[in-house]
């Protein structure tokens, strides 16, 4: 049946930055599609709370704490997990951060921090996981991009730069790794109600602007990202490679 293409039973998915927000929602969604889940974050205690909550739904869940910006720590954690537990079939590079401020006043240290968290982490974790996927001749990598992959907004130029870079790194991954049986794609959320966006959600002026600017007329719900994530993680996307799918209520389609 065609629906079998979306079945993730027997697959194991690592989602970085998955103790809350979009990462946690994607973990719940992939688990509901049958995947075994590996949650990741830096705070081991917070991660275990999230893992236990997901286990209560019946999912098989592992908590793997490591800093996605530390290349050696990433390699050690991924190699150790693969050796002790088994293969990671799906990687969702979701870890990210935001820092707002006028570009002319943006601190160099903050710029470097956002580059490391949003871009370098995709390289570090992507490479560590892909080396095992390449050896097996199969794997799915989903890099979380953003509406800012395509658009800019005042006060977040460095974030916009990082998300543009993630989309192009995704193309590079596909170009290098498709020959080994990997599919590497991007998922670009629009404006969603998450802890990262809470200040904007709570700002009535911004929400009024967003509702007018977005054809769908509202904030997105994180659960609305799950269908695309399942598609990009499953056999249904076996010949989809190097592309970025926008899930944004139409905001990038309109002026």
| Active-site residue set | 159
Measured CA angle at 172 (ends 171, 173), to 5 deg: 90
Distance (Å, rounded) from C-alpha 236 to C-alpha 219? 28
Beta bridge partners of 246: 188
Q: Which helix (H) or strand (E) holds 190?
A: none
Query: Are 162 and 200 within 8 A, CB to CB?
Result: no
Task: Tell me how far apart the alpha carbons of residues 210 and 213 are, in angstroms, rounded to a whole number.
Answer: 5
* Contact predicate 46/19, CB 8 Å: yes
Order of strands across the sheet that contains 90-93: 61-65, 36-41, 12-15, 90-93, 139-144, 182-189, 244-247
141 phi, psi to nearest 5 deg:
-125, 125
Residue 114's H or E segment, with its range, is: helix 108-115
For residue 92, give the nearest of 211, 183, 4 by alpha carbon: 183
């Amino acid at each position: 049946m065609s629906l079998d293409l979306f079945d993730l039973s027997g697959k194991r998915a690592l989602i970085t930055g998955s103790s809350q927000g979009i990462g946690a929602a994607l973990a719940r969604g992939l688990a509901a599609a049958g995947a075994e889940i590996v949650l990741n974050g830096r705070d081991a205690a917070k991660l275990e709370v999230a893992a236990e909550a997901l286990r209560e739904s019946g999912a098989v869940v592992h908590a793997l704490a490591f800093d996605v910006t530390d290349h050696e720590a990433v390699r050690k954690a991924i190699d150790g997990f693969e050796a002790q537990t088994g293969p990671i079939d799906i990687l969702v590079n979701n870890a990210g951060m935001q820092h707002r401020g006028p570009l002319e006043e943006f601190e160099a240290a903050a710029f470097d921090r956002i580059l490391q968290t949003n871009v370098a982490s995709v390289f570090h974790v992507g490479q560590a996981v892909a080396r095992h996927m390449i050896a097996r001749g199969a794997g799915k990598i989903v890099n979380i991009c953003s509406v800012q992959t395509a658009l800019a907004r005042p006060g977040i130029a460095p974030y916009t730069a990082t998300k543009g870079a993630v989309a192009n790194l995704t193309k590079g991954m596909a170009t290098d790794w498709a020959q080994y049986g990997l599919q590497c794609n991007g998922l670009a959320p629009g404006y969603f109600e998450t802890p990262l966006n809470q200040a904007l959600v709570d700002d009535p002026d911004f929400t009024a602007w967003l509702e007018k600017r977005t054809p769908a007329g509202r904030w997105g719900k994180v659960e609305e990202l799950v269908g695309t994530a399942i598609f990009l993680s499953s056999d249904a996307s076996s010949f989809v490679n190097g592309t970025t799918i926008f899930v944004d209520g139409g905001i990038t389609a309109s002026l």
